[in-house]
């Protein structure tokens, strides 16, 4: 119901939620008399707030009275009421518009391979059972499927998806925009159960290969300033400083997604590895020993010990720069390395290994730290091309540090190049302040980093696995990086403008299921003969046009 309030010179119109909208008129007192003009209020996306523009000039009150309007203010108050009433009805009709109301001659059809896989999995009957308690008047399976197909062929905001993309899908869907947001919130609340249903059916039809599991984390930024329970400020991948949400992704040995975990952006990634793997193995009935593969960011004593307690194994990378001096010496010794060559006889990389007991410090159930020794295999590789790249980066940072040193720059200006200098306070007290400082080049650090350039270390519990197999297994982690890339680029999973936690999670679930179904198509059906860019390019470009009722 529209309510109109007279406040001083303005008549304001409010909707039932208390938000200002529509048209109003203003009384302007000038020498000639009181002048009336109608203004329209609208939201300006560029300014980020409400703005006004002239809608209709009414004239002077005295002139209006002479023209037969006894009470101009009351008269135009009623006109404004009717204008806002009609506007409100129009907006209500647009809001309740069904997708099936839209008709377009061009239809997107490139998603048909994914649709075929989705239908063949037989998840619909299980999702229908979940829906029985929701009271939704539309199919949850159809809802999920339509958003997945829409995101594959043309990723965009949920509003734009509803207005522009869903009407272009070959099938007709009959839910409203309100139902889109309600459904998104529901599937976000139940995302683990929905993934569990898909996992069960994929295991039944295609099978998961969990001899190895690959795990990594990333985060997604939000165009907001305030934090909430989920969107928290943390170390963003894009070096942004706003709130982020973390996402952990688990892949099987064939690089098929097995599960995801959403967590607040300020939380450490390391515990997520333990939680998601244990949870997924329980929910998905994944039995037997799996070897967890992750990068050095997730390599910590607790994760290693937890894997061993679960009768699982691990393959992690380890920074050679952080090794004890004895291990660095072993890495740099040229003996025991052997060359791995390409078909033309060129050296791809050099590799060597050792098996020994290595010390770790863990925290027990009582919170006390204790030292343990674990038998591990450590594989070191040397890549000439990597060395060339890393030495270039080192020299660039060193050159930057020398320029800043010569210009007597502040410590805060050095950034990453600060690791190649030592700072000495300029003041006599030696206090640490952000002032001009005396700088000396750290020649020892520069020399050590150049010596270790090109070297990588892989740590594993698999002492009987050949070193080249360990190397190739670890380097398949690029697949999980590619999955994140698909989410962020091909599926435009960011930036995210949703507000509620469950809706945000629902958004990520749609992105996850899109990656899952595309990966099955790419790896299980096409046997990995085509790259993801080619597949997405085909699905986005493949369209049909309706020419007449009889022909398409």
pLDDT, tens digit (0-9, with 9 covering 90-100), for 172-226: 887 888 888 888 889 999 998 999 999 999 999 999 888 888 877 887 877 666 7
- Alpha carbon 142 to chain centroid distance? 24
Tell me the β-bridge partners of 23. Answer: 40
58-62, 103-107, 417-421: which is most confident:
417-421
Alpha helices, H only, 380-442: 384-406
In the predicted model, is pLDDT for residue 65 greater than 80?
A: yes
Question: How much is the average pLDDT of 276-284?
Answer: 69
pLDDT tens per residue, range 482-523: 887 888 777 766 666 667 888 889 989 999 999 999 999 999
- Burial code of 464-492, b = ≥16 C-beta within 10 A, e = fewer? ebebeebbebbeebebbebbbebbbebbe
pLDDT value at residue 429: 55
Residue with the bigger pLDDT between 397 and 86: it is 397
pLDDT value at residue 164: 86
The Cα–Cα gap between 315 and 463 comes to: 11
pLDDT value at residue 224: 63
In 158-256, where do the E strands start and end? 212-221, 232-233, 243-252
CA-based torsion, 58, 64, 69, 73: positive or negative? positive
CA nearest neighbour of 506 among 148, 122, 252: 148
| H or E, element range at 459 | strand 455-460
- Burial code of 181-197, b = ≥16 C-beta within 10 A, e = fewer? bbbbbbbbbbbbebbbb
Instruction: Characterize the bridge pairing of strands 33-44 and 22-30.
Output: antiparallel
pLDDT tens per residue, range 284-320: 666 667 788 888 767 788 888 888 888 888 899 888 9
Task: Give percent of the chain above pLDDT 70.
Answer: 81
Q: Is 299 helix (H, G, I), strand (E, B) or coil?
A: coil
pLDDT value at residue 497: 63
Q: Is 70 helix (H, G, I), strand (E, B) or coil?
A: coil
Q: Is 401 helix (H, G, I), strand (E, B) or coil?
A: helix
| 543 half-sphere exposure, CB direction, 13 A CA radius | 17
CA nearest neighbour of 403 among 392, 413, 394: 413
Residue with the bigger pLDDT between 510 and 163: it is 510
Q: Is the CB of residue 110 less than 8 Å from the CB of residue 540?
A: yes
* Cα–Cα distance list, 219 to 90, 151, 158, 500 (Å): 40, 19, 20, 17
**Residue 552 pLDDT level (bands cut at 50, 70, 90):** very low
Task: Give percent of the chain above pLDDT 90.
Answer: 28
Residue with the bigger pLDDT between 4 and 462: it is 462
pLDDT value at residue 42: 67
In the predicted model, is pLDDT for residue 477 greater than 70?
A: yes
Structure tokens at 82: 């009717």
**Residue 21 pLDDT level (bands cut at 50, 70, 90):** very low
CA-based torsion, 531, 535, 540, 543: positive or negative? positive
The Cα–Cα gap between 268 and 259 comes to: 18
How many Cβ atoms are within 10 Å of 126's Cβ, its own excluded? 18
Q: Is the CB of residue 13 less than 8 Å from the CB of residue 84?
A: yes
pLDDT value at residue 7: 39
Q: Is 409 helix (H, G, I), strand (E, B) or coil?
A: coil
Instruction: Characterize the bridge pairing of strands 232-233 and 243-252.
Output: antiparallel
**How far apart, in Å, do the first and last CA atoms of the chain sit?**
46
Q: Is the CB of residue 4 less than 8 Å from the CB of residue 12?
A: yes
DSSP 184: H
Q: In this predicted structure, which of 74-83, 89-98, 113-122, 538-547 has the lowest mean pLDDT?
A: 89-98
In the predicted model, is pLDDT for residue 2 greater than 50?
A: no
| 59 half-sphere exposure, CB direction, 13 A CA radius | 9
| H or E, element range at 79 | helix 72-95
Q: Is 122 helix (H, G, I), strand (E, B) or coil?
A: coil
The Cα–Cα gap between 552 and 385 comes to: 54
Question: How much is the average pLDDT of 28-33?
Answer: 78
Q: What is the mean pLDDT of the chain?
A: 81
Residue with the bigger pLDDT between 40 and 528: it is 528
Q: Is 513 helix (H, G, I), strand (E, B) or coil?
A: helix
23-32, 302-311, 361-370, 380-389: which is most confident:
380-389
pLDDT tens per residue, range 396-414: 999 999 998 888 888 888 8
In the predicted model, is pLDDT for residue 377 greater than 50?
A: yes
pLDDT value at residue 300: 80
Q: In this predicted structure, which of 199-208, 268-277, 463-472 has the lowest mean pLDDT?
A: 268-277
The Cα–Cα gap between 282 and 258 comes to: 12
pLDDT tens per residue, range 426-464: 555 555 555 556 888 999 999 999 999 999 999 999 999
The Cα–Cα gap between 531 and 518 comes to: 11
- Burial code of 135-156, b = ≥16 C-beta within 10 A, e = fewer? eeebbbbbbbbbbbbbbbbbbe
């Amino acid at each position: 119901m529209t309510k109109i309030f007279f406040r001083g010179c303005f008549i304001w119109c409010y909707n039932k939620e208390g938000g200002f909208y529509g048209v109003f008129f203003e009384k302007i007192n000038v020498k000639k008399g009181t002048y009336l003009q109608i203004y329209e209020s609208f939201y300006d996306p560029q300014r980020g707030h409400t703005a006004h523009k002239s809608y209709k000039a009414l004239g002077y009150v005295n002139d209006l009275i002479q023209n037969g309007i006894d009470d101009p203010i009351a008269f135009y108050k009623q006109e404004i009421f009717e204008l806002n009433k009609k506007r409100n009805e129009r907006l209500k009709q647009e809001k309740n518009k069904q997708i099936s109301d839209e008709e377009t001659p061009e239809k997107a059809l490139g998603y048909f391979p994914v649709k075929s896989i989705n239908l063949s999995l037989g998840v619909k009957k299980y999702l229908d059972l979940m829906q029985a308690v929701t009271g939704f008047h539309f199919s949850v399976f159809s809802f999920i499927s339509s958003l997945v197909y829409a995101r594959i062929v043309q990723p965009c905001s949920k509003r734009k998806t509803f207005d522009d993309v869903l009407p272009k899908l070959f099938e007709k869907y009959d839910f409203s925009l309100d139902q889109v947001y309600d459904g998104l919130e529901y599937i976000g609340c139940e995302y683990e159960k929905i993934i569990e249903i898909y996992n069960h059916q994929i295991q039944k039809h295609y099978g998961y290969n969990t001899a190895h599991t690959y795990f990594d984390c990333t985060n997604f930024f939000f165009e907001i300033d305030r934090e909430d329970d989920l969107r928290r400020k943390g170390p963003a991948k894009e070096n942004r400083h706003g709130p982020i949400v973390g996402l952990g992704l688990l892949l099987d040995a064939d690089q098929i997604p097995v599960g995801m975990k959403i967590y607040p952006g300020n939380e450490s990634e390391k515990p997520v590895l333990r939680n998601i793997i244990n949870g997924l193995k329980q929910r998905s009935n994944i039995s037997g020993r799996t070897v967890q593969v992750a990068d050095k960011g997730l390599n910590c004593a607790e994760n290693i010990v937890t894997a061993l307690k679960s009768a699982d194994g691990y393959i992690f990378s380890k920074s050679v720069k952080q090794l004890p001096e004895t291990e660095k010496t072993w890495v740099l010794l040229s003996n025991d390395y052997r060359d791995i060559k390409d078909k033309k006889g060129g050296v791809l990389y050099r590799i060597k290994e050792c098996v020994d007991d290595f010390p770790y410090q863990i925290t027990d159930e009582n919170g006390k730290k204790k030292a343990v020794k674990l038998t591990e295999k450590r594989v070191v590789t040397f890549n000439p091309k990597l060395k060339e790249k890393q030495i270039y980066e080192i020299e660039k940072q060193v050159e930057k540090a020398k320029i800043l040193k010569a210009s007597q720059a502040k410590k805060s200006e050095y950034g990453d190049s600060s690791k190649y200098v030592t700072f000495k306070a300029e003041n006599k007290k030696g206090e640490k302040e952000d002032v001009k400082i005396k700088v000396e080049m750290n020649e020892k650090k520069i020399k050590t980093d150049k010596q270790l350039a090109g070297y990588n270390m892989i740590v594993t519990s698999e002492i009987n696995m050949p070193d080249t197999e360990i190397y190739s297994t670890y380097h398949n982690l690029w697949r999980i990086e590619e999955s994140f890339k698909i989410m962020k680029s091909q599926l435009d999973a960011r930036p995210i403008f949703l507000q509620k936690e469950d809706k945000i999670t629902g958004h990520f679930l749609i992105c996850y299921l899109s990656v899952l179904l595309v990966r099955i198509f790419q790896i299980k059906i096409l046997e990995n003969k085509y790259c993801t860019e080619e597949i997405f390019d085909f699905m986005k470009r493949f369209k049909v046009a309706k020419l007449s009722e009889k022909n398409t």
